[in-house]
Amino acid sequence: MRDLLNHIVAHRSGALFLLAIAAVLEAYGDSCFQSALYRASGMSRAFAFVVGAVSLAAYGLVVNAPRWEFGKLLGVYIVLFFLLAQIVARVRFGQAPTLPILIGGALIVAGGVTISLGG
């Protein structure tokens, strides 16, 4: 598996794809824990905890298994995570971003671009 991931991240588009997968896994795993803690009970709570743990473990593998300079890609990852977290918040919880979140998000995107171009 490590060799496959190394092959994928050897190309810029592959690295972006893998970062997007990692962001989806992290945002979804976090949302499962939020559901388990605040929106579920009984077996559905237990199921949400298990799915969240599996998703976050998969995120850890995707981010840490390949040999890449994650620090250089951190700006892109933070932007992807922010955007995907907003999508998950909207789809799973019906939470629309507020004006401060949109302004902060614009700053996150600007920071990600700065890190990516300067790194």
Which residue carries 């700065």 as its tokens?
A: 114
Higher per-residue pLDDT: 114 or 119? 114
Which residues, including other chains, have CB under 8 Å from residue 98's CB and lie 6 or more apart? none
Model pTM?
Answer: 0.88
| pLDDT score for 119 | 63
Alpha helix stretches (DSSP H) within 10-69: 12-38, 42-64
Longest dimension (CA), the chain: 49
pLDDT band at 70 (very low <50, low <70, confident <90, very high): confident
